[in-house]
Copies of this chain bind each other. A is one copy, B any other.
Amino acid sequence: MQAEIIAIGDEILIGQTIDTNSAFIASQLNLHGIKVHLKRVIADDAQAIKQALDSVDPKTKYVFMTGGLGPTKDDITKKTLLEYFGGEMEFKPEVYAQIVKLFASFNREPKEVHRQQAFVPSSCEAIVNDTGTAPGMRFEKEGRFYFSSPGVPYETEHLVGDKIIPWILETQESGSIYHKTLITQGIGESDLAEKLSDWENSLPADVKLAYLPSPGLVKLRLSGHASNREESTKKVSEQIAILRHLLGDLVFGEDAHSLEEIVGKSLLARESTVAVAESCTGGYIGHLITKVPGSSAYFLGGIISYSNSLKMQLLGVKEESLKNFGAVSEEVALEMAEGVRKKCGSDFGISTTGVAGPSGGSPEKPVGTVWIGIAGPSGAVARKYNFGANRERNIRRSALMALDRLRKEVQKIEN
């Protein structure tokens, strides 16, 4: 089955907001073998909405629309869908009951502007939204379904993920495309391509490989097409096994698993703990680790030692190390990692110290120079990297490299 996504909103069209809803919807559909044929972003404009609906591909069975359902004047999607699909505005008590409940949870009462949200076109089925005031809507016309959900990402995630997709699956068989992604760290796209070229040339015609580089990571996605799910899964799984063999520990995970989740699972399985000593990453490693629910079981905390005096005072870095080698040095990275491990009483300590940029570089230590230290039960090691000139990429690459180094160290311990 084929789907299309139409994101409605000037804020996306002018680039002020990044369209994450379409990615969410597409990934959900894809999991169930429904292929997204086209994504469009159009203006908050009745004519643009109608024109987009008129030009849906004839083979498309599901059209997902997001945006333009808020309580404010610039939101015109509901009115436009009423004009397009016909009917009249109808009050939905079950929608209003949910709005009242939502406000009660904040100790507030809905205002008139919120009550208006409970009116939807009589030509649609209202879909109760547990996370906001705007209900989702489902229209049907000539065997095609049109869904509308709000532009706020967590509301669309709820409506599409919890309500719309389950409804589709009840009326719809799952498809025959299967994707699997391996995530690699520490090797670039071209080097990967060279390493994999023989294998890639030998892939069956109905298995497709894609390289998806991002700062610090390259994802390899294999897609298999077949007449049924079992067949497509089998084709991809066979190739994934070979790929894992070829790449060894360059691969840290599969599909949507993040490096921080994998590291967390490894620590948890070994009942080990970690603490961080962050200079150039400024707290980003701590943030990545603590994004994962349950991370308090293995993450004790750490020290953001942005200034040299805090490196000495809180981590025990020696004054002569700073003086003789500078803050961005092997010695300081080691002392930071060992210091935080001791100070926090953790099994592992990781440290970063570098020149994130854009200024602060020198001929010996250009912008992008980063030392990463790992201290653990079997000693401490620091290594030097150069991640290039962009500050945000430097921070991200440093953090991912530190987590990947930690992953490898932790996985050396018997489970």
Interface residues of chain A, those whose CB is within 8 Å of chain B, are 10-20, 22-30, 36-44, 70-74, 106, 111, 113-114, 133, 152, 154, 179, 181, 189-190, 193-194, 200, 208-214, 219, 221, 223, 276, 278, 281-287, 289-291, 293-296, 299-307, 309-310, 313-314, 343-345, 356-359, 386, 390-393, 395
List 6 interface pairs A-B (beta carbons < 8 Å), by A numbering.
Answer: A16-B219, A106-B386, A113-B194, A291-B392, A296-B307, A300-B310
Q: Are A303 and B314 in touch, CB under 8 angstroms?
A: yes
| B-chain residues with CB within 8 Å of residue A391 when the two chains form the complex | 291, 293
Q: Are A152 and B296 in touch, CB under 8 angstroms?
A: no
A186 to chain B, nearest CB (A): 15
A94 to chain B, nearest CB (A): 21
Knowing A19-B23, A310-B301 touch, does A41 contact B42 (C-beta < 8 A)? no
Which B residue's beta carbon lies closest to that of A343? B314
Q: Are B24 and A15 in touch, CB under 8 angstroms?
A: yes
Knowing A23-B18, A74-B210, A301-B306 touch, does A283 contact B287 (C-beta < 8 A)? yes
A98 to chain B, nearest CB (A): 15
Q: Are A358 and B41 in touch, CB under 8 angstroms?
A: no
| B-chain residues with CB within 8 Å of residue A219 when the two chains form the complex | 11, 16
Knowing A44-B210, A289-B282, A303-B301 touch, does A193 contact B18 (C-beta < 8 A)? no
- Copies of this chain assembled into the complex: 2
Which B residue's beta carbon lies closest to that of A24? B15
A65 to chain B, nearest CB (A): 15
A297 to chain B, nearest CB (A): 10
| B-chain residues with CB within 8 Å of residue A209 when the two chains form the complex | 73-74
Q: Once bound together, how far apart are the Cα atoms of A184 and B308, in whole Å?
A: 35
Q: Once bound together, how far apart are the Cα atoms of A44 and B212, in whole Å?
A: 13
Q: Are A283 and B304 in touch, CB under 8 angstroms?
A: yes
Q: Are A13 and B26 in touch, CB under 8 angstroms?
A: yes
Q: Are B304 and A301 in touch, CB under 8 angstroms?
A: yes
Q: Are B357 and A293 in touch, CB under 8 angstroms?
A: yes
Q: Once bound together, how far apart are the Cα atoms of A300 and B133, in whole Å?
A: 42
| B-chain residues with CB within 8 Å of residue A25 when the two chains form the complex | 15
| B-chain residues with CB within 8 Å of residue A357 when the two chains form the complex | 293
| B-chain residues with CB within 8 Å of residue A393 when the two chains form the complex | 154
| B-chain residues with CB within 8 Å of residue A290 when the two chains form the complex | 281-284, 304, 306, 356, 395
Q: Once bound together, how far apart are the Cα atoms of A20 and B18, in whole Å?
A: 6
Contact of A70 among B179, B189, B310 (CB under 8 A): B189
Apart from A11-B210, A276-B283: 14 A-B pairs, beta carbons within 8 A: A10-B221, A13-B39, A14-B179, A16-B27, A18-B18, A22-B41, A73-B193, A281-B287, A282-B286, A282-B290, A283-B283, A283-B284, A286-B306, A303-B314
